[in-house]
Amino acid sequence: MKRLVSGIKPTGSLTLGNYIGALRQFVKLQEELIDTEFFIFIADLHAITTPQERQALKKNIKSIAALYIACGLDPKKVNLFVQSEVQEHATLGYIMESTAYVGEMERMTQYKDKKGKQTEGIRTSLLTYPALMAADILLYDADIVPIGDDQKQHLELTRNLAQRFNNLYGDTFVVPEGFFPKTGARIKSLTEPTKKMDKSAENPKAYILLLDDLNQVKNKIRSAVTDSDTEIRYDLKNKAGISNLLTIYASLTDISIKEIEEKYKNSSYKEFKEDLANIVADTLAPIQEKYNEIISSPYLDEVLDMGREKASLIARKKIFKVYKRMGLGRIK
- In the residue annotation, 258 being an active-site residue is answered as no
Cα dist from 176 to 79, 111, 142, whole Å: 19, 22, 6
Taking CB within 5 to 8 Å according to partner kind, which of ligand ATP, ligand LTN, none is near residue 20? ligand ATP
Taking CB within 5 to 8 Å according to partner kind, which of ligand LTN, ligand ATP, none is near residue 136? ligand LTN
Taking CB within 5 to 8 Å according to partner kind, which of ligand ATP, ligand LTN, none is near residue 137? ligand LTN
**What is the Cα–Cα distance from 53 to 322, expressed in whole angstroms?**
34
Say which of 28, 199, 310, 321 is annotated catalytic. Answer: 199
**What is the Cα–Cα distance from 87 to 316, expressed in whole angstroms?**
9
Closer of 15 and 288 to ligand ATP (Cβ) = 15
- In the residue annotation, 114 being an active-site residue is answered as yes
Contact 178, 147 (CB under 8 A): yes
User: Measured from the CB of residue 251, what is the shortest distance to ligand ATP in angstroms?
Assistant: 9
- In the residue annotation, 58 being an active-site residue is answered as no
Say which of 9, 62, 188, 196 is annotated catalytic. Answer: 196
**Footprint (CB under 6 A) of ligand LTN, residues 76-135:** 133
**Footprint (CB under 6 A) of ligand LTN, residues 128-157:** 133, 136-137, 145, 147, 151
Closer of 136 and 212 to ligand LTN (Cβ) = 136
Q: How many residues bind ligand ATP (CB under 6 A)?
A: 18
Taking CB within 5 to 8 Å according to partner kind, which of ligand LTN, ligand ATP, none is near residue 240? none
**Which among 80-88, 143-151, 165-173, 247-255 is the span making contact with ligand ATP, rule CB under 6 A?**
143-151
Residue 219, number of CB atoms within 10 A of its CB: 14
Question: Rounded to the nearest 5°, which phi and psi values hold at 235?
Answer: -155, 90
User: Measured from the CB of residue 172, what is the shortest distance to ligand LTN in angstroms?
Assistant: 18
196 touches ligand ATP by CB under 6 A: yes
Taking CB within 5 to 8 Å according to partner kind, which of ligand ATP, ligand LTN, none is near residue 18? ligand ATP
Q: What is the DSSP code string of 250-316?
A: HHHH---HHHHHHHTTT--HHHHHHHHHHHHHHHHHHHHHHHHHHTTSHHHHHHHHHHHHHHHHHHH
194 touches ligand ATP by CB under 6 A: no
Residues in the chain: 332
H or E element, residue 177:
strand 177-179
Q: How many residues bind ligand LTN (CB under 6 A)?
A: 12
Q: Which spans in the chain are helix H?
A: 16-18, 24-32, 44-47, 54-70, 88-97, 102-106, 109-117, 124-138, 152-169, 214-222, 240-253, 257-263, 269-294, 298-326
H or E element, residue 6:
strand 2-8
**Nearest position to ligand LTN, beta carbon:** 7
Residue 315's closest CA among 146, 167, 138?
138
Q: Choose which of 17, 130, 176, 307 interacts with ligand ATP (CB under 6 A).
A: 17
Instruction: Point out which residues bind ligand ATP (CB under 6 A).
Output: 8-9, 11, 17-18, 20-22, 147-148, 150, 186-187, 196-200
